[in-house]
């Protein structure tokens, strides 16, 4: 088991290395660098000034040198004035070193956000905290609801409850966040006026009024899928011999479901819930933009829109890490929950 | 001048009337399918259940809407009539006397016509992109599952690499205006669009290599048709000027294929690993068939059930992806009538007007729902056998 986890962590690190290299390549394409230089300099700068800004700030060094700098295996160079030889910080707003130093991701320095004029860490981690709260609320709604729906549907296969709930789950998987968000806003904010159509005020304090719409919008897309998986798992368990034995020895249907079927039926949904995280990440971006909630997704869109290189790299690192670590947890957790499957 | 409106029930009747070519086509196709369902194999079995019929009905509805879009829609989807700005549903356009059935949007365009024309964009790009993703996934997934070993490790690692990317980040990196200046989209298109040609060449070669009368005709046809479409799509140099794709559409096309082919790869790989242990594969190996013959003519036909179901779901998922792209304003032209862009435009103004938001959302939802219902009943039918 231990060597399995160690090997998986090795793969995760390798994947993260490859992916950041790809992202690094894409954000450093010539048009993107131009865009960055234009947004960082004054209006109406000439092409030469743009070029000299890029050279000064080290964007014209060799690609792999710069990737190494970001990673923290090649020292970061400050701006050197060619006339005097004096060195100055690259970005004064985030304590960049004035002497060549090793300071990259490995050293814990995620770099400098050119859009927000601060360090990436100062921007990214509060945003992650905000998204974490949103995610917790979403999981708190999504998991119980979807398990309940799945169990009720799978308890008696082919019954009217089963058909109705199955069609409802299919409908919910056909409703992406930007569709359900619009529909919920129309119903609850525009017509009924019960809830707030914007979660911008949630950064100050979360209330039922401003936080419900983002949470249910995000939850609804996942509910259908998890419910269907739970139903399939429940249906399979209900056809097993030991369920029939329990029924035949005179136990009531309710206690057979709760005591015998549930435990085994909930193993598969666990994996599915863990594997929902990558989808939730995309959903988070849509929902945060739609409801103007200042979290991780909002930061990612801002970073991508302004080609904020370090911030975007930080965002990709975090999201890739979340995706891979949830996969690992789901594999390990599955082996723990299901004694029939043990990793060699 | 005061804008004249027609009543709510008149709007419904007018909408139903506007869709008349769709109803006619639907009646013919559904009626014929229902009569001959016994002879139509898997497709015919769909008509045995209500869910399946509903799925077929919704999918065909949008298919015919896309085909007859110019007959159905009363106005040009891009045309602006200033007097109709932000009008409510049922407003009568004074010049022509026609009605803005679902009202006008903030740029004074007809919401109904835009919804109808939006179906064209979705119904062209989503199935085509899914088709290419299937080709890529099958061509790479079969050898990965069949041979295992190094090929499998490398390809699986690459697939997991793409799958570990959150889709939205991938789109922000791959579908930006800046990337059109670089050769990346064209290089990716060049690679992806090669897969169908390779696939069909290998398919025919393995089967007919000892029959010169058939093989040369089939290979020649594949190369000519494939090469023609390839030149038109990748280089935009179609000599006949029929195959043409805008650079920004090519870009989203490539991004969508890139995002969904690893999923197909994983499914095909899993199915191949399962099927290659069957007796008929062992029999073919004993006969001395070549590995690619076994993969394409023994394994693939037996994996078709799950693949058809997956393709249905995937078209729906691709529709959702296209909507996401439109919602973030990536790739598609800002005035394009596709549903995602329409939802983006309307959702910013929800506080003042809600009517431009509802038609595209309901259209997108119903189409994806139709595909999901179709997939669900296909799965049920194929499990019965």
Give the tens place of pLDDT for each residue, A123-172. 888 888 888 888 888 989 988 999 999 988 888 887 888 888 988 998 88
pLDDT in tens, B93-124: 777 777 777 777 777 788 888 888 888 888 88
* Nearest CA among B167, B327, B338 for reference residue B256: B167
Pick the residue from chain B with its C-alpha nearest to A182. Answer: B347
Cβ separation A324–B376 shorter than 8 A = no
Between the alpha carbon of residue B305 and those of residues B125, B132, B301, B310, the distances in Å are 24, 18, 9, 9
B383 or A303, higher pLDDT? A303
User: Is pTM, for the whole model, over 0.80?
Assistant: yes
Q: Sort out which chain A residues have CB atoms less than 8 A from B350's CB and list them.
A: 182, 185-186, 189-190, 197
**Which of A31, A175, A278 lies closest to B166 in CB terms?**
A278
CA-to-CA distance for B127 and A322, rounded, in angstroms? Answer: 31
d(CA A328, CA A11): 11
CB contact under 8 A, A290 and B347: yes
Substitution target in B118, B158, B168 with the highest count of A β-carbons within 10 Å is B168
The answer, for A323 touching chain B at a CB cutoff of 8 Å, is yes
CB spacing of B165 vs A19 below 8 angstroms: yes
Report CB contact under 8 Å: B178, A29: yes
Query: CB contacts < 8 Å between A and B, how many?
Result: 127
Which residue, among B164, B184, B369, would best test binding to A if mutated, counting the most A CBs under 10 Å from its CB?
B164
Which of A18, A23, A286 lies nearest to residue B327, judging by beta carbons? A286
Give the nearest partner residue to B161 out of A19, A173, A185, using CB atoms. Answer: A19
Cα separation of B50 and A318, whole Å? 45
How far from A12 is each of A142, B161, B338, CA to CA, in Å?
Answer: 28, 10, 38
pLDDT for A29: 82
CB contact under 8 A, A170 and B376: yes
Nearest CA in chain A to B350: A186
Q: For residue B351, give how far its alpha carbon lies from the nearest alpha carbon of chain A (Å).
A: 7
How large a percentage of chain A has pLDDT more than 90? 1
The answer to whether residue A200 neighbours chain B at the CB level (below 8 Å) is: no
CA of B360, closest CA in chain A: separation in Å?
9
The reply to whether ipTM tops 0.90 is: no
Non-local (6+) Cβ contacts of A208 within 8 A are none
In whole angstroms, give the CA distance from residue B114 to residue B166. 30
Render pLDDT for A73-108 as a digit per residue (tens, 0 to 9).
777 777 766 666 666 667 767 766 667 777 777 777
Length of chain A: 344
Residues B151/B143, Cβ–Cβ less than 8 Å: yes
Q: How far apart are CA B369 and CA B376, in angstroms?
A: 10
Instruction: Report pLDDT for A344.
Output: 45
The whole-angstrom separation of Cα A207 and Cα A199 is 9
Please indicate whether, in this complex, the C-beta atoms of A179 and B372 are within 8 angstroms of each other: no
CB B90 within 8 A of CB B6: yes
| Residue percentage of chain A with pLDDT more than 70 | 89
Chain B residues in contact with A10 by the CB 8 A cut-off are: none
- Nearest chain A residue to B162 by CA distance is A19
What is the 3-state secondary structure of chain A? CHHHHHHHHHHHHHHHHHHHHHHHHHHCCHHHHHHHHHHHCCCCCCHHHHHHHHHHCCCCCCHHHHHHHHHCCCCECCEECCCCCCEECCCHHHCCCCCCECCCCCCCCCCEECCCCEEHHHHHHHHHHHHHHHHHHHHHHHHHHHHHHHHHHHHCCCCHHHHHHHHHHHHHHCCCHHHHHHHHHHHHHHHCCCCCCCCHHHHCCCCHHHHHHHHHHHHHHHHHHHHHHHHHHHHHHHCCHHHHHHHHCCCCHHHHHHHHHHHHHCHHHHHHHHHCHHHHHHHHHHHHHHCCCCCHHHHHHHHHHCCCHHHHHHHHHHHHHHHHHHHHHHHHHHHHHCCCCCCC
Q: What is the pLDDT of residue A81?
A: 67
Q: How many whole angstroms separate alpha carbon A6 and alpha carbon A248?
A: 47
Q: Do A23 and B173 touch (CB under 8 A)?
A: yes
- Minimal Cβ distance to A174: which of B168, B172, B365: B365
Would you call A304 and B340 a contact, using CB atoms and an 8 Å cutoff?
no
B169/A304 CB distance under 8 A? yes
Q: What is the pLDDT of residues A116-129, one digit of tens each?
A: 777 777 788 888 88
Among chain B residues, CA nearest to A25: B173
Within 8 A of A179 by CB-CB distance, chain B residues are 323, 343, 361, 364-365
Those residues of chain B that have pLDDT short of 50 are none
What is the distance between the alpha carbons of residues B42 and B45, in angstroms, rounded to a whole number?
Answer: 5
Residue with tokens 């619009």: A182
From A11, A29, A297, residue closest to B182, measured CB to CB: A29
CB A190 to CB B350 under 8 A?
Answer: yes
pLDDT of residue B380: 82
A320 CB neighbours in chain B (<8 A) are: 164-166
């Amino acid at each position: 088991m231990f060597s399995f986890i160690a090997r998986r962590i090795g793969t995760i690190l390798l994947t993260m290395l490859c992916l950041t290299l790809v992202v690094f390549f894409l954000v450093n394409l010539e048009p993107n660098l131009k865009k960055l230089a234009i947004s960082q300099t004054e209006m109406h700068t000439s092409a030469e000034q743009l070029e000299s800004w890029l050279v000064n700030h080290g964007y014209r060094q060799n690609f792999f040198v710069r990737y190494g700098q970001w990673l923290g295996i090649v020292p970061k160079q400050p701006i050197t004035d060619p006339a005097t030889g004096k060195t100055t910080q690259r970005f004064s707003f985030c304590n960049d070193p004035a002497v060549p130093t090793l300071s990259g991701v490995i050293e814990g320095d995620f770099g400098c956000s050119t859009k927000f004029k601060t360090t990436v860490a100062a921007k990214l981690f509060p945003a992650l905290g905000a998204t974490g709260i949103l995610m917790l609320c979403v999981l708190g709604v999504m998991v119980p609801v979807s398990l309940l729906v799945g169990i009720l549907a799978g308890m008696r296969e082919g019954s009217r409850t089963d058909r109705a709930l199955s069609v409802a789950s299919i409908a919910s998987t056909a409703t992406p966040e930007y569709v359900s968000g619009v529909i919920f806003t129309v119903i609850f904010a525009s017509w009924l006026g019960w809830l707030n159509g914007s979660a911008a005020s949630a950064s100050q304090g979360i209330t039922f009024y401003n936080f419900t719409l983002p949470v249910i919008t995000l939850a609804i897309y996942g509910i259908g899928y998890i419910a269907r998986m739970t139903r399939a798992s429940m249906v399979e368990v209900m056809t097993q011999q030991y369920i029939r034995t329990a029924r035949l020895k005179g136990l009531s249907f309710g206690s057979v479901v709760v005591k015998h079927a549930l435990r085994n039926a909930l193993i598969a949904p666990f994996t599915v819930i863990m594997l929902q995280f990558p989808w939730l990440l995309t959903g988070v971006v849509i929902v945060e933009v739609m409801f103007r909630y200042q979290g991780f997704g909002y930061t990612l869109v801002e970073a991508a829109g302004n080609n904020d290189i370090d911030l975007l790299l930080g965002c990709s690192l975090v999201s890739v890490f979340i995706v891979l670590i949830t996969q690992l947890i789901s594999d390990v957790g599955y082996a723990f929950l299901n004694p029939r499957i043990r990793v060699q | 001048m005061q804008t004249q409106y027609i009543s709510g029930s008149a709007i419904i009747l007018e909408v139903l009337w506007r869709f008349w070519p769709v109803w006619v086509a639907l009646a013919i196709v559904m009626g014929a399918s229902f009569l001959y369902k016994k002879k139509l194999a898997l497709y015919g079995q769909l008509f045995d259940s209500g869910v399946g019929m509903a799925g077929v009905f919704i999918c065909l509805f949008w298919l015919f809407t896309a085909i007859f879009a110019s007959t159905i829609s009363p106005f040009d989807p891009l045309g602006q009539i200033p007097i109709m700005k932000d009008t409510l549903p049922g407003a009568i356009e004074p010049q022509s006397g026609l009605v803005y059935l679902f009202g006008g949007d903030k740029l004074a365009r007809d919401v109904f016509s835009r919804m109808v024309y939006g179906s064209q964009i979705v119904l062209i790009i989503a199935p085509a992109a899914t088709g290419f993703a299937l080709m890529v996934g099958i061509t790479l997934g079969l050898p990965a599952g069949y041979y295992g070993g190094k090929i499998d490790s490398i390809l699986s690692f690459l697939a997991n690499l793409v799958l570990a990317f959150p889709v939205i980040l991938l789109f922000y990196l791959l579908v930006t205006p800046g990337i059109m200046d670089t050769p990346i989209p064209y290089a990716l298109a060049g690679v992806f669009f090669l897969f169908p040609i390779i696939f069909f060449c290998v398919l025919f070669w393995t089967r007919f290599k000892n029959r010169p009368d058939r093989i040369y005709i089939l290979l020649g046809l594949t190369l000519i048709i494939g090469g023609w479409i390839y030149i038109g799509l990748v280089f935009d140099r179609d000599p006949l000027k029929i195959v043409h794709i805008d650079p920004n559409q090519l870009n989203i096309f490539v991004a969508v294929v890139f995002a969904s082919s690893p999923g197909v790869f994983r499914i095909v790989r899993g199915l191949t690993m399962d099927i290659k242990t069957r007796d008929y594969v062992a029999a073919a190996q004993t006969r001395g068939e070549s590995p690619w013959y076994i993969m394409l003519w023994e394994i693939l036909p037996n994996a078709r059930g799950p693949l058809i179901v997956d393709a249905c779901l995937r078209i729906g998922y691709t529709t959702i992806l296209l909507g996401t792209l439109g919602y973030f304003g990536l790739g598609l032209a800002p005035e394009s009538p596709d549903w995602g862009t329409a939802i983006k435009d309307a959702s910013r103004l929800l506080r003042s007007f809600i009517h431009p938001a509802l038609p595209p959302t309901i259209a997108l939802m119903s189409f994806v729902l139709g595909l999901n219902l179709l997939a669900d009943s296909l799965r049920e039918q194929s499990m019965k056998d």
